[in-house]
Amino acid sequence: MTAKIRLMLVDDSTVIRRLLADVLTGDPMLEVVGQAPNGRVALERLPVLKPDLVILDVEMPEMDGLETLTEIRKHQPRLPVIMFSSITERGAIVTLEALARGANDYVTKPSNTGNMAIALQRVRDELIPRIKAFCRHLVTPSAAPQPTSPSTEQPSGGWASFGRSPIEGSVFGRPSSGWTPTNQAMVERGATEQRAPTIKPENKLPPLPVLSRPRQRVDVVLIGVSTGGPPALTALLPQLPATFPVPILIVQHMPPIFTRLLAERLATHSALSVAEGTAGEILRPGQIRVAPGGSHMVLERDGSQIRLLLHQGEPENSCRPAVDVLLRSAVDIYRGNTLAVILTGMGNDGLRGCEAIRKAGGQILVQDEASSVVWGMPGFVAKAGLADGQIPLSQLASEIINRVRIGR
């Protein structure tokens, strides 16, 4: 008989803890082994209860979620922690900080309005798959990853500032309050001490080699990311130089408020202009735009210019914004002059869009398994034979720069 996944709930609300326990224990694979009303009590009980995963409230008396997470990471760096956050500006700010400090993921609390049964079902649908993904290593050990090698092309021509190592110069590699030297070092060496073991997609196909084919000029870079995204983007974007010659569009699976605050946070790390995308905005080289939570982001040609459009169409892959929607729209405009980069994330959003990019002759890179928090989105693309390379996060910026440089 398979052992149950042992969970600890930390929340100052007795009602929330009871509702969460009812939701989680309804699944035969899950067991709530302990509860705590604040971080101080949780830290006292952790060594005794030995949970496999902690669900941690953000705002609590005596010791809040951030303080508790920091202490957990000091002593148990690999213990999966999912933050339980409110959909408010304050909740979003603290949640993003928690992700930067090593939380594995987050789920938003049900609001006080609407049907509680529907709200609890949403929590169940979002929380239980994450728990099982982060704890899959307990019952299904994963094989060692086999990352592929990135491009080794060197800078040429007069574009020296673009081809220079992105760590050179004062703006690159500078840690912020939310990206500690410990986290930076973890990314640089591709290690996984501060997160749960990598989660692979279900299909067990052999790893595929890097595709070797002529490369077209890249006129837009498209990034799709979900679970583990904020730390990955915080590591990647500062390595792109101010002279980056094409726009970058990002779909990060997050709700409204969260995406705006994420963009603002990323802007403090990057030499490029980072902001949440706005309807009607003209795409310009060197700009990074993040799709707003709750809206699909697509492109439209307006004479010689390309504009961003936003719409609230049906969710795709249970996501809005969806990576697939952006990728298909970009192919309609840029055809084969696209570079898609699929980073860490749960599910398979981006797979169909990458099929469209491949058919049009565009290029596709995926984050490798070893440096991904969850190798779902990149794993599905790689195992479908669509990726030109499976690249460690620490080397992705250089690979993107090399490919964008071609034809310039």
The catalytic site residues sit at 226, 253, 349
CA gap 65, 29 in Å, rounded: 26
Determine the residue type at 291: A
> Nearest 5°: phi and psi at 289?
-125, 130
Dihedral, CA atoms, 62, 258, 284, 389, nearest 10 degrees? 90
Name the nearest CA neighbour of 323 among 362, 304, 349.
Answer: 349
Residue 185 gets the label, from left (phi > 0), alpha (psi -120 to 50) or beta, of alpha
- Looking at 238-350, list the stretches that DSSP marks H as alpha helix, in order from N- to C-terminal side: 258-267, 323-334
**Sheet of strand 81-85: strand arrangement:** 30-36, 5-10, 53-57, 81-85, 105-108
First to last CA, the chain: 60
Q: Is 351 exposed, middle or buried (0-12, 13-18, 19+ CB in 10 A)?
A: buried
State the residue for tokens 């795409």: 283
